[in-house]
Each structure stands twice: as structure tokens, then as C-alpha cells.
Amino acid sequence: MNIKISQEVRDAIKSGKGVVALESTIISHGMPYPQNVETALLVEEEVRKCGAVPATIAIINGVPTVGCSKEEIEHLGKAGLSVTKVSRRDIPIVIAKGQNGATTVASTMILAEKAGVKVFATGGIGGVHRGAEKTMDISADLDELSKTDVCVVCAGAKSILDLGLTMEYLETKGVAVVGYGTDELPAFFTRESGIKLTCRMDTPEEIAKALKVKADMNLGGGMLVTNPIPEEYSMDARVIGEAIDKAVTEADEKGIKGKDITPFLLDKIQKITGGNSLASNIQLVFNNARLASQIAINLAKLG
């Protein structure tokens, strides 16, 4: 596959500097323009402040791109929902047709691994949707974590999901799920979910060492690092829970499914909460970018 890697990212990888992959679905499908572009550039700035190099990933005119330019990010932001949301299955089609594609967690992992980028910061991963025992609606992110060797730093699985089943699925697939400074799975908008984790790590150095051991043993697959939203931006569990229930009910009534479900639910929740959920979403992405940068820098030091 012909992948375009920016010179900045190439130089960082060659010199052993920490690099952090960033997804592009949050730009095209996560929020309106121009806030989407402003947020994407601010996330990159957070990574640089920490001493690492950001690599925003997308497919631009059919070319997988690792390290999008400001102009490319601007283009994705303006195009918005007209940009194809790309998971693993969509990559060859979007490339073959010369289209623009915004990468999800799964496809960002794939392109990051091919470019040699080992750490990826996102908001929250997809997972097992509520009612999946009937619909079989399970995000491709989970399978990707089981086979693609990239560390994903997130604020847990999105709380619109069935978090218990999501954790069961990850356990079945053999994915290591680490709680950063917590024994409990964060629930995206809130710091707690009531679901206990089996592994807690308290420093980026410790996580980097575990990633190095995993690589040295050729164990394959990714690692999921769950990083709780900062306390000052955490939402009231009851308020966000009620908003999610309303949004899920409306999605069911309208028959919204598949890859359209998450953008619909997040947009609906934002409206129900008067924009508070979006503000929290942005802050947790910044927080994850900072932790991912520290992990990437320490991993690079280990060689």
C-alpha cells in the first residue's frame, strides 16, 4: 500500500522521537465546522507541547495519509459528513475510488501500524452496542484491537454502549485493558462505570515498558489504555445516563444502525445536555493526547 507519511513524522520515527497517531472521524463526523478544525489543531498542539509529534491520519483523494497538513484538516472539517467514514472494510474501496476518508479507531490503527506509529490517542473506542444480543452490532474497533499492534489511549468505551459486554468481548479476544491510575473502567463522559479492571498502571513509563515486553515477545495485537476524564470535566452520571437513554430510544424508533449510530447518538446527547457533553468530549481528548504523548516518548526511549 502506498502511504503518504509527512516529513515531520518520517523524521520523528527515524530519530526515535515519540509519535502519536490521531484519528480524523472526530474532524468530519464529531462536531460542526469550524469547531472541528480548531479542536483537531489544538489536539496536535497538545501533543507538541508534550514533546511528541502528532500524526493525524486520513485518506486524502485516495491516498492514505499519516500526518495530515493543516490544509488537509481544514478540508476534512469543511466537507464534514460528506467525507466517507472509513473502517477496515472501507479502506480499499475509498482508495480505489480516489475519495476522501475519515478514519475510525480501527482504520487509524491499521494505517498507524503500517507507518510504524505505535501509540494512538482517541476519545473513546467503539464497542458492543446495547441490544447486541439481537442486532449483533459490535464495533470493528474491538477486533482490530485483538490483531493490530498499536496502543490505544482512550477515556474508556463510549457510555452509549453496553460496557459490560464490551469488556467481556475484549477479554475473549485477549486484549490487555489497562486502567491509568484507576481500578475501574472509565465511562467516557464520567470517571466511573462500576466495572472493575484487572490491570492498573500509574505511570506512562510503566505502560511503555509493558508495550516493549509485548513487542519483544511478539504477542501481537494492541493494548487499550483507559484514561479517566479529568474530574473537573466529568459529567453527572445521572444526567448523562438519562440523555443517553433518550438518544438510544430515538435511534431505535428511527431505525438508525451500523456506523451511523454513534454520530447520531453523540449529536443527540450534545443537544440534550445543552452542549455540555461536547465540551467534556473535547477535554477528554486533550487529556488522552497528553498521556499518549508521554507513553510514546517513553516507548521511543526504550528503542
Q: How far is it, in rounded angstroms, from Cα 167 to Cα 173?
A: 10
Residue 29 has pLDDT above 80, yes or no: yes
pLDDT of 259 above 70: no
**pTM > 0.85: yes or no:** yes
d(C-alpha 219, C-alpha 211), whole Å: 10
Q: For residue 201, what are the contacts with CB-CB under 8 A and spacing of at least 6?
A: 178, 179, 180, 181, 207, 210, 225
Query: What is 83-139 written as a DSSP string?
Result: SEEE-GGGHHHHHHTT--EEE-HHHHHHHHHHHT--EEE-S-B--BBTTHHHH--B-
Find where cell 453523540 sits. 266
Report the share of the chain in percent with pLDDT over 70. 98
CATH fold match for the domains 1-117 and 119-303? yes
Q: Are 254 and 182 in contact (CB under 8 A)?
A: no
**Region of poorest pLDDT, from 174-178, 188-192, 218-222, 296-300:** 188-192
The whole-angstrom separation of Cα 42 and Cα 24 is 14
**pLDDT for residue 269 is more than 90:** no
> 85, 118, 158, 259: which one is catalytic?
158
What whole-number distance in Å separates Cα of residue 113 and Cα of residue 76? Answer: 22
- 205 — pLDDT class (breaks 50, 70, 90): very high
Which secondary structure element, helix H or strand E, spans residue 64, and what is its range? strand 63-66
Domain boundaries, given as residue ranges, for the chain: 1-117, 119-303
41 with 73: CB under 8 angstroms? yes
Residue 92: all three cell numbers together: 480499499
Give catalytic status of residue 271 as yes or no: no
Cis peptide before 64 (omega within 30 of 0): no
In the CATH scheme, what is the homologous superfamily, with its name and number, of domain 119-303? Indigoidine synthase domain (3.40.1790.10)
Question: Is the domain 1-117 a CATH 3.40.1790.10 member?
Answer: yes
- Span 274-289, pLDDT tens digits: 767 788 889 999 999 9
Task: Indicate if 242 belongs to the active site.
Answer: no
Q: How many C-beta atoms lie closer than 10 Å to residue 198's C-beta?
A: 11
Task: With beta carbons less than 8 A apart as the criterion, state whether 169 and 219 touch.
Answer: no
Which residues does residue 22 pair with via DSSP β-bridges, in sequence order?
Answer: 56, 121
pLDDT tens-digit readout, 136-187: 889 999 999 999 999 999 999 877 789 999 999 999 999 999 999 999 999 9
**1: confidence class by pLDDT, cuts 50, 70, 90:** low
